[in-house]
A and B are shown apart, each in its own frame.
Chain A
Amino acid sequence: DIQMTQSPSAVSASVGDRVTITCRASQGIKSLLVWYQQKPGEAPKLLIYGASSLQSGVPSRFSGSGSGTDFTLTITSLQPEDFATYYCQQADSFPLTFGQGTRLEIK
């Protein structure tokens, strides 16, 4: 199984800040990496696929990068609605696996 490790587990930031979340795969997954945002009581929402492609309707302040084993999700100019938990997911092979999540909190 491919293990996905996110860091940090939680981060505090203020509106307007820039935040970067890292996701590391235990083996190379090319660019087969997806990012989701989840707010309390809601289902996850697709943000980025193929490591760096922005899903339609997602604000351009979200961006993704990386390939192989190391990936990042960057949010520039944080907005109040961005405070949520973020998950990465590898799509390289079964079993499909998720990172443990990064909780983005308001400072």
Chain B
Amino acid sequence: QLQLQMSGPGLVKPSETLSLTCTVSGGSFSSNSYLWAWIRQPPGKGLEWVGSVSYSGNTNSSPSLKSRVAMSVDTSKNQFSLRLTSVTAADTAVYYCAPYSTSIGWFDPWGQGTLVTVSS
């Protein structure tokens, strides 16, 4: 049973870079069955897919965020990471990490979520 643990700062200053890491346990990280995904949810609003990265490092991201998003993997640590540059208040959200099943199309299970607030 996959488990995901998120880490990273909860407060980021405007124009700076948001960095989050998700550590995966309980399953195969280096598998073609999954893409490793980031989803965010602004306070009181709906879910937005941010992007996904394969264990080999291939990425796919939301067109609206593509110019500011970078994702990477560290297979030695079973970790994947998100960097979002030039953040503004609009990037304030709960960020989730989750595996995306390439065969079934679901996100499951989800990390616990981290509220990242962009504020000076």
Interface set of A (CB-CB < 8 Å, partner B): 1, 32, 34, 36, 43-46, 49-50, 55, 87, 89, 91-92, 94-101
Contact = CB atoms under 8 A, between A and B. Distances in A.
Nearest to A97: B49
Interface size class of chain B, counting residues whose CB lies under 8 Å from the partner chain: 20 to 34
Contact of A99 (B46, B52, B110): B46
Interface in B97-111: 100, 104-111
Contact of A50 (B48, B104, B112): B104
B46 A44 contact: no
B26 interface: no
B104 to A, nearest CB: 5
Contacts of A99: 46
Contacts of A89: 47, 105-107
A43 B63 contact: no
A45 B108 CA distance: 8
A98 B46 contact: yes
Contact of B113 (A43, A55, A101): A43
6 contacts: A46-B107, A87-B47, A91-B104, A92-B105, A96-B49, A101-B46
Given A43-B96, A43-B112, A98 B105 contact: no
B29 to A, nearest CB: 20
Contact of B47 (A32, A50, A91, A98): A98
A101 B41 CA distance: 12
B96 A55 contact: no
Given A43-B96, A43-B110, A43-B112, A95 B105 contact: no
Given A43-B96, A43-B112, A32 B48 contact: no
